Amino acid sequence: CVGYAPSCRRRCRNPIKQVNRASAFQLLEDLSYIDTSTTDINAKLHELAEFTLCLRYHQSQRNDMVEKWS
């Protein structure tokens, strides 16, 4: 998980599902071909955050991650 665990003052160490990891890698591959100067990738970044944040604790950090990545 790419989320932040404030109680531990570090990044979350929870694993994410294999299918979500595979989807994230594919999305990153797709993003590498997009011209960000002419294309809004915000929706894609939200999707990436959803794939890379653990379902149990950190899905609420989606907007924070998108802002960090933008």
pLDDT of residue 60: 95
pLDDT of residue 38: 86
Neighbours of 5 (CB within 10 A): 15
What is the distance between the alpha carbons of residues 11 and 54, in angstroms, rounded to a whole number? 11
The per-residue pLDDT for range 3-57, each reduced to its tens digit, is 999 999 999 999 999 999 999 999 999 999 999 888 899 999 999 999 999 999 9
How many residues would you count in the chain? 70
